[in-house]
Structure 1
């Protein structure tokens, strides 16, 4: 049985984005995105309903600040407590899997879509994609770009404006273009920040 263009796209194989089924899927997604981006902050129930109809999976406590942009939506899987600041963009020709308690700064872009490297192949109209995964508890700084095929580990910090082109291990701080690991977070980092946060809230209670 011949594969559909949608099946090829989801499998990370060459496919034609102009296929009528895929065009219809993107058009339906655009309608929902436009509706979502027109909502106001006093319409949380409407926003939640639209996101649930748009995204493939979404855990409890997720919040996406409009405007928000996505190609299909159905390939996006969010864990619990995910937060996106404004102007984030996801090109989800393949799966984008985002773990629990992941936070995006403004204008973060996640791309699964890419193209053949040679001119003749690109002009053929064939495209392809590779999945992206971001682990639990990671923070992606504003303006960062996550490229196709990248896997970011758990509890990572990606500096603002970074361009991530290769996998990042758990507990890493990575910055730059291309993003490179500066160092790994250590137990003493956690102890230090836990103490600072505890002191901060104790101070608030005493005021």
Structure 2
């Protein structure tokens, strides 16, 4: 099994492997091109975003700066809006539903490393998918950690660190994020 095969299978892999590095280098180049376009040419910026992402629905709006590990593992639905400085470490799949708004300076991580010093010295990593439902608003400076699923109709308050799954129809806040309100419509 190659390191990319291990990564795809959800196993521990060597993140310094040439195949993994090439995947990240491609993403870095495309993100640099996206970020260089700037807001003055939204048509070109949207076209470049579509080149980076694995899939995107209608009404895609992404602001620079945007950075990712792969890009092809990111799938966003219709009416997706991200503000400035979004980072998605998409070594594993990141699936984002329809009508999702992401505030500035948000980080979404799918990669984790061993707790053992030896495992970290051996350059091991493992990916855990992140799923974000429909009608979600993620406030500024939120961090979403590997393996988290966020339900539908959720508000994640600014500054929250989401370390566990979030049910539908709630507001979560804090470090770590906890449900602070149920939403009814």
TM-score norm. by structure 2 comes to: 0.96
Kept after mapping to 2: 8 A contact 1:94/1:131: yes
The match for 1:144 among 142, 145, 148 is 142
For the residue of structure 1 that corresponds to 2:180, the secondary structure is strand
> Shift in Å at residue 12 of structure 1?
1.8
Give a deviation string over 1:166-188, Cα, whole Å, max 9, x none: 0000011000000000121013x
For structure 2, list consecutive stretches of 5 or more residues without a partner in the other structure: none
Which residue in 2 is equivalent to 1:43?
A: 41
Say which SS state the counterpart of residue 173 (structure 1) adopts: strand
In 1, Cα distance between the equivalents of 2:115 and 2:63? 35
Q: Could you report, residue by residue, the CA deviation over 1:143-195 in whole angstroms, capped at 9, with x for unpaired residues?
A: 000000000000100010000000000011000000000121013xxxxxxxx
Cα contact 2:28–2:69 (8 A) shared by 1? yes
Q: Which residue does 1:108 correspond to in 2? A: 106
Instruction: Name 1:161's counterpart in structure 2.
Output: 159
Q: Does 1:117 align with 2:125?
A: no
Q: Give distance in 2, aligned partners of 1:35 and 1:51.
A: 10
Bigger CA drift: 50-59 or 90-99?
50-59
Match of 1:32, SS? Answer: helix
Q: Distance in 2 between matches of 1:90 and 1:40?
A: 19
Task: Please state whether the residue corresponding to 2:140 is helix, strand or coil.
Answer: coil
Equivalenced residue count is: 185
Structure 2 residue aligned with 1:77: 75
Of 140-149 and 113-122, more deviation after overlay is shown by 113-122
Q: Which residue of 2 aligns with 1:182?
A: 180
More helix by share: 1
Task: Give the Cα separation in 2 of the matches to 1:11 and 1:136.
Answer: 27
CA RMSD of aligned residues (A): 1.0
Q: Retained in 2: the 8 A contact 1:11–1:94?
A: no
- Greater Rg, structure 1 or structure 2? 1
Deviations along 1:71-110, one digit per CA (max 9) or x if unpaired, are 1101101111110000011000100000001000000100
Unaligned runs of 5+ in 1: 188-207
Structure 1 runs of 4+ with >2 Å offset: none
Q: Distance in 1 between matches of 2:169 and 2:31?
A: 33
